[in-house]
């Protein structure tokens, strides 16, 4: 069975909510919709306090090249366009809407009926995706229409659909693949059409045999689509790892992109959002979020409108357990701790993981014994112990030379470290600083010219 | 015989290598001004980088090389050292007013309640890159001591009681290392008054008054009372935050009494006697702060 060639770890998968069908979370009383839910420039609000909005109405517009539109996730009255604290306690511009009923904007098809045929031109498909405000829903939140715009002179050979969901605990993509299999396959054909590519592969880890079987059965009717079962290994869902696992090709280091090896990767949820946008004219206003944790009473998969407070999701899963807990936006490997439970669910949020007891705490740090476990675990072939040490000493130039920008922040190094050294904390800091240095250098070069 | 040849060959090789080295050294010799060494000896030798060069040698090189040395300054040695260097080189001594670092955050453990617990790497830079911090204030001091680690002179230390760093003005050389190390831009170099006196706003929060009040009892709420009372126009309010210009300030201390939250810090001086009833309890002060915040919110 296929997998990626270098590094990786195998945490216990803890997919507690694997068998729970997706259920819709009751609509919240009010939502806070951040203007920046994607990589790139924040959108600009097109509504003001007092405006009445319907579900799916454009409330913030993309500005500049790298940005994405944002639509009202609930109907009601805009009560504020102001700074609100996000999950990390940092105040960001958000649009607050007080919900009144559930009235949808005109022209959106909300029926469950499957629309198979799509005869649109690739440019029209891209335009619809852009208009729906779709971004990568696997976590990075990269605007999808930009990813699908293939630069002139490049050819796409592979469309790879990411159904790996290698992150422990999370099951949102798994459930979507099971419950919306046909829609997913239609979505893939639409993406293939948009990219002008004849073959697509859906990478799924073999801890989801039901999804592999179901999609494999249905895919026979869709020419060009192949289901690729993969051996379970974290971080197989990383873009570069998935490309390596499926095609055997290695994406060159930054600024290299998947397109350099002829691949475009799209997440399962993103593909479903593309189906909704193109076939149903439905903008991105909701997503499936896994709410999970060993100490939660009922781990669940919920269909959640954006802007819903994280606390509402946790309540729906049985409430916060007693004692000190760690709430993560995402899974335990790559998720970011949430210090403000009133913060909203955004486009890139695939799960809320609540860890309690010993799981919630990091072990006490001791000294590095140079066991090189981190080196063996790094899927990018880096030397995490060295990177972290250089970052601690603030030797940014040397860090750049050690390819710190290649790090995908998967956390394998920290997971495997027997000394509990916060390797990734420092590497991430180093990556940020080196990134800033590289950008400053590029800016200086352009002004010189 | 073999031994002799071996030794001889080595000797010849050694002589040849020495000759080559000698010739190369003569040919590519770098003429260096002997004054650079002298100037370097005059400098404190802390190699702190406060002058903007990597070390004292770099500054000495620039001092000797440049005709106009007005832009160069050693914050550690101060005016005295600069004068002796300038006299030695026969150039005009650069002048700069003495400065000290000030930590502009008053959110001690008691005044700024914790809302979460951080257990990542104990570094302000790392914590700041991850999130807003352990309290409700995203601007305040994180308290992991990056500034302490950056200081070469032992002039700054975190007070375990307040959780905030404190500067020992006597040791501070105003090299600016802590200013650069602080990811929240809390530390500022300000004019050094005689007898270590100072009046400054001990807060950098740009949040609105009501938000600040919720997160911290010692924050600047941007109410503008200090701006109004200042007879010298030294105080300006920008994005809900007061700033005292240390060049215009005459240490009259009127603003200190006016501040409803106590965000304006007074160092090395007694506060002015209060005109009305002295604010006996801390509770009275908080009450006044709430009233001021409300009044301010009403204006918006």
CA angle A94, A99, A103 (to 5 degrees): 115
Q: Which chain B residues are Cβ-neighbours of A94 within 8 angstroms?
A: none
Considering chain B, what is the average pLDDT of its residues?
88
- Measure the CA angle with vertex A311, ends A307 and A316; round to 5°: 100
**Topology, domain A122-280:** Rossmann fold (3.40.50)
Q: Cα–Cα distance between B80 and B89 in angstroms, integer?
A: 14
What is the reported pLDDT for A440?
A: 93
Q: Which of residues 66-125 of A touch B (CB under 8 A)?
A: 83, 85, 88-91
Segment B116-150, tens digit of pLDDT: 989 889 999 999 999 999 998 999 999 999 999 99
| pLDDT for the residue numbered B196 | 86
By Cβ distance, the residue of A90, A336, A425 closest to B132 is A90
* Cβ contact, residue pair A426, B129, below 8 Å: no
Residue B42 has pLDDT above 50, yes or no: yes
Confidence of residue B46 (pLDDT cuts 50, 70, 90): confident
Q: Give me the pLDDT at residue B127, please.
A: 94
Assess whether pLDDT exceeds 60 at residue A119: yes
Tens of pLDDT, residue by residue over B184-201, are: 999 999 998 888 899 999
Q: Residues 6 or more apart from A135 whose CB is under 8 A from it?
A: A37, A38, A39, A68, A141, A142, A143, A144, A270, A284, A347, A348
pLDDT of residue A323: 86
% residues pLDDT > 70 (chain B)? 91
Instruction: Answer whether residue B288 shows pLDDT above 60.
Output: no
* Separation of alpha carbons A21 and A19, rounded Å: 6
Contact B131 A425 (CB under 8 A): no
B283 pLDDT above the threshold of 90: no
Residues of A in contact with B211 (CB under 8 A): 91
Say what the pLDDT of residue B290 is: 58
Residues from chain A contacting residue B131 (CB–CB below 8 Å): 88-90, 336-337, 339
Flag whether pLDDT at A357 surpasses 90.
no
pLDDT confidence tier of residue B293, bands split at 50, 70 and 90: low
Q: Say yes or no to pLDDT of B281 above 50.
A: no
The vertex-A137 CA angle with A133 and A138, nearest 5°, equals 160
pLDDT attached to residue B287:
54
Angle A285-A287-A291 (CA atoms, 0-180°, nearest 5)? 140
Which residue in the set B115, B129, B138 is minimally distant from A428, CB to CB?
B129
Q: How far is CA A372 from CA A69, A381, A391, A401, B31, in A?
A: 45, 12, 18, 20, 48
Q: Inform me whether the C-beta atom of residue B120 falls under 8 Å from chain A C-beta atoms.
A: yes
Is the model more confident about B21 or about A139? B21
Residues A290-311 have a mean pLDDT of 95
Judge whether residue B279 has pLDDT over 70: no
Cβ distance of A339 and B115 shorter than 8 Å: yes
Q: Give the Cα-Cα-Cα angle A86, A91, A95 (nearest 5 degrees).
A: 75
Give the H/E segment covering residue A127. Answer: helix A122-131
- Tell me what pLDDT residue B96 has: 81
**pLDDT value at position B278?**
46
Of B126, B133, B138, the CB nearest to A425: B126
Q: Is residue B289 predicted with pLDDT exceeding 60?
A: no
Q: What is the pLDDT of residue B299?
A: 44
| More confident call, B144 vs B98 | B144
- Over chain A, what is the mean pLDDT? 94
Cβ contact, residue pair B138, A91, below 8 Å: yes
pLDDT over 90 percentage in chain A: 91
Chain A within 8 Å of B117 (Cβ-Cβ)? Answer: yes
**Does the structure show a pLDDT above 60 at A140?**
yes
Pairwise CB contact (< 8 Å): B119 & A361: yes
Q: Which of A52-56, A389-393, B173-177 has the weakest average pLDDT?
A: B173-177
Asked which of A96-100, B126-130, B281-285 is least confident by mean pLDDT, the reply is B281-285
Average pLDDT over residues B242-265: 92
Tally A–B CB contacts below 8 A: 52
Q: How confident is the model at residue B294, as a pLDDT? A: 55
CB B181 within 8 A of CB B147: yes
Buried b (16+ CB within 10 A) or exposed e, A329-353: bbbbbbbebbbbbebbbbbbbbbbb
Domains of chain B by start residue, with CATH: 36-89 (1.10.15), 98-192 (3.30.70.20), 193-300 (3.30.70.20)
pLDDT reading at A250 higher than 90: yes
B292 pLDDT band, cuts 50/70/90, is low
CB contact under 8 A, A429 and B131: no
> Chain B contacts of A335, Cβ < 8 Å?
none
List the single residue in B with minimal CA-CA distance to A91.
B138
Q: What is the pLDDT of residue A208?
A: 95
Nearest CA in chain B to A87: B131
The residue-averaged pLDDT of A324-349 equals: 93
Q: Is the dihedral of CA A164, A166, A167, A168 positive or negative?
A: positive
């Amino acid at each position: 069975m296929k997998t990626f060639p270098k590094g990786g770890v195998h945490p216990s998968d803890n997919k507690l909510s694997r068998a729970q069908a997706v259920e819709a979370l009751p609509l919240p009383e009010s939502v806070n919709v951040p203007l920046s839910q994607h990589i790139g420039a924040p959108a600009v609000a097109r509504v003001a306090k007092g405006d009445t909005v319907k579900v799916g109405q454009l409330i913030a517009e993309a500005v500049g090249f790298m940005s994405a539109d944002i639509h009202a996730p609930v109907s009601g009255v805009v009560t504020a366009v102001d700074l609100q604290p996000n999950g990390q306690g940092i105040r960001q511009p958000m649009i607050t809407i007080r919900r009144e009923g559930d009235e949808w904007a005109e022209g959106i098809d909300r029926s469950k009926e499957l629309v198979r045929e799509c005869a649109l031109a690739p440019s029209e498909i891209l335009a619809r995706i852009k208009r729906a405000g779709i971004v990568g829903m696997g976590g990075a939140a990269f605007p999808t229409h930009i990813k699908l715009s293939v630069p002139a002179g490049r050819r796409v050979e592979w469309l790879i659909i990411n159904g790996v969901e290698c992150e422990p605990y999370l099951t949102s993509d798994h459930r979507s693949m099971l419950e919306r299999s046909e829609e997913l396959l239609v979505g893939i054909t639409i993406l293939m059409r948009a990219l002008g590519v004849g073959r697509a592969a859906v990478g799924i880890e073999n801890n989801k045999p039901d999804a592999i079987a179901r999609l494999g059965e249905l895919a026979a009717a869709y020419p060009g689509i192949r289901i690729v079962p993969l051996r379970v290994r974290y971080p197989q869902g990383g873009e570069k790892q998935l490309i390596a696992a499926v095609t055997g090709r290695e994406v060159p280091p930054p600024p290299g992109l998947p397109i350099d090896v002829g691949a475009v990767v799209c997440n399962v949820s993103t593909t479903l959002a593309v189906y909704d946008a193109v076939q149903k004219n439905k903008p991105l206003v909701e997503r499936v979020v896994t709410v999970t944790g060993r100490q939660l009473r009922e781990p669940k998969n919920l269909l959640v409108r954006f802007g819903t407070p994280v606390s509402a999701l946790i309540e729906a899963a049985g409430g916060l357990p007693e004692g000190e807990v760690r709430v993560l936006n995402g899974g335990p490997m790559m998720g970011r701790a949430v210090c403000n439970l009133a913060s909203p669910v955004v486009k890139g949020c695939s799960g809320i993981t609540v860890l309690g007891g010993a799981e919630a705490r990091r072990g006490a740090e001791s000294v590095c014994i140079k066991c090189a476990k981190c080196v063996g675990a790094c899927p990018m072939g880096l030397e995490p112990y060295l990177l972290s040490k250089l970052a601690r000493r603030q030797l940014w130039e040397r860090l750049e030379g050690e390819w710190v920008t290649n790090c995908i922040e998967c956390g394998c190094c920290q997971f495997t470290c027997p000394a509990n050294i916060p390797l990734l904390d420092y590497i991430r800091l180093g990556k940020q600083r080196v990134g800033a240095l590289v950008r400053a250098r590029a800016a200086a070069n352009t002004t010189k010219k | 015989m073999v031994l002799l040849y071996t030794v001889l060959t080595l000797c010849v090789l050694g002589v040849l290598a020495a000759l080559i080295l000698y010739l190369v050294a003569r040919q590519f010799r770098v003429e260096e001004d002997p004054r650079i060494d002298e100037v370097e000896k005059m400098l404190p030798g802390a190699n702190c980088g406060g002058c903007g060069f990597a070390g004292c040698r770099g500054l000495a090189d620039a001092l000797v090389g440049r005709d106009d040395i007005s832009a160069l300054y050693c914050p550690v040695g101060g005016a005295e050292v600069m004068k002796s260097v300038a006299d030695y080189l026969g150039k005009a001594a650069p002048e700069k007013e003495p400065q000290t670092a000030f930590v502009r955050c008053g959110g001690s453990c008691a005044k700024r309640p914790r809302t979460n617990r951080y257990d990542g790497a104990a570094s302000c830079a790392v914590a700041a890159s991850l999130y807003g911090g352990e309290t409700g204030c995203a601007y305040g001091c994180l308290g992991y001591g990056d500034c302490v680690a950056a200081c070469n002179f032992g002039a700054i230390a975190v007070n375990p009681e307040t959780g905030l760093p404190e500067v020992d003005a006597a040791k501070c050389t105003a090299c600016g290392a802590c200013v650069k190390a602080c990811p929240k831009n809390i530390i500022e170099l300000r004019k050094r008054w005689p007898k270590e006196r100072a009046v400054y706003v001990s807060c950098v929060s740009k949040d609105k008054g009501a938000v600040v009040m919720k997160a911290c009892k010692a924050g600047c709420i941007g109410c503008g009372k200090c701006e109004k009372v200042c007879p010298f126009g030294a105080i300006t309010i920008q994005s809900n935050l007061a700033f005292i210009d240390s060049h215009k300030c005459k240490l009259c201390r009127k603003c200190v009494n006016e501040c409803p939250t106590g965000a304006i810090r007074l160092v090395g001086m007694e506060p002015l006697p209060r005109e009305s009833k002295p604010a006996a309890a801390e509770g009275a002060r908080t009450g006044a702060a709430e009233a001021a915040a409300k009044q301010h919110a009403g204006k918006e």
